[in-house]
């Protein structure tokens, strides 16, 4: 287990993200030239370490800063929770992207209460899998990791440790 200090202060993470923006894009390019399978092994180990140390339910920043994509079956579940029709739910609480994808339209999320999800067991798939650091093919999601770097303490700490482990020149 890594004894490196964890940064969980959201203001400090946002500050460091602004300072390190160019560095992070250089790191993205650096990672694109690495063996994705080897990078995944390191990322998944770091993901396991960090998710044991950082409790997402104490943060809720992703719920304040991101809009999850919704699928039809999720809209149906959320509509039942609201006691309205799926059509009414979509009309009142969703918006459609230019690619016809459906998203919750409010930020922070309407289901966020005191930094916790009030529908935790019924939350959308994108919320369940966020920040996506446990998935395969990390090097195919680098642009979103740079976006999430300033939002999520897990992503921030993972990226910083990954830079160190891969001997990235800052």
Closest CA to 57 of 3, 16, 111: 111
Parallel/antiparallel/unpaired status of strands 112-113 and 102-104: unpaired
pLDDT at 3: 62
Model pTM score: 0.91
Average pLDDT score, the chain: 95
pLDDT at 57: 85
Residue 41 reports pLDDT greater than 90? yes
Contact in structure between 40 and 138 (CB atoms under 8 Å): yes
Same domain, 24 and 105: no
- Distance separating the N- and C-terminal Cα atoms of the chain: 23
Q: How far apart are CA 159 and CA 145, in angstroms?
A: 8
Tell me the pLDDT band of 105, cut-offs 50, 70 and 90: very high
Q: In what helix (H) or strand (E) does residue 104 lie, and over which residues does it extend? A: strand 102-104
Same domain, 52 and 72: no
β-pair partners for 113: 116
Host domain of residue 152: 10-62+131-165
Per the structure, how many domains does the chain have? 2
Q: Does 170 reside within a domain?
A: no
């Amino acid at each position: 287990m890594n004894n490196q200090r964890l940064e969980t202060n959201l203001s400090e993470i946002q500050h460091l993200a602004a300072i390190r923006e160019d560095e992070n894009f250089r790191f993205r390019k650096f990672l694109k030239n690495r063996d994705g399978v080897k990078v995944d092994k390191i990322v998944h180990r770091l993901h396991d370490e960090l998710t044991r140390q950082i409790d997402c339910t104490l943060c809720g920043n992703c719920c304040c800063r991101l809009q999850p994509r919704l699928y039809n079956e999720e809209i149906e579940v959320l509509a039942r929770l609201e006691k309205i029709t799926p059509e009414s739910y979509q009309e009142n609480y969703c918006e459609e992207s230019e690619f016809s994808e459906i998203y919750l339209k409010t930020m922070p999320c309407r289901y966020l209460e005191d930094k916790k999800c009030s529908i935790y067991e019924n939350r959308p798939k994108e919320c369940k899998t966020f920040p996506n650091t446990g998935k395969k093919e990390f090097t195919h999601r680098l642009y979103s990791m740079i976006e999430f770097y300033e939002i999520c303490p897990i992503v921030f700490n993972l990226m910083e440790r990954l830079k160190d482990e891969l001997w990235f020149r800052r």
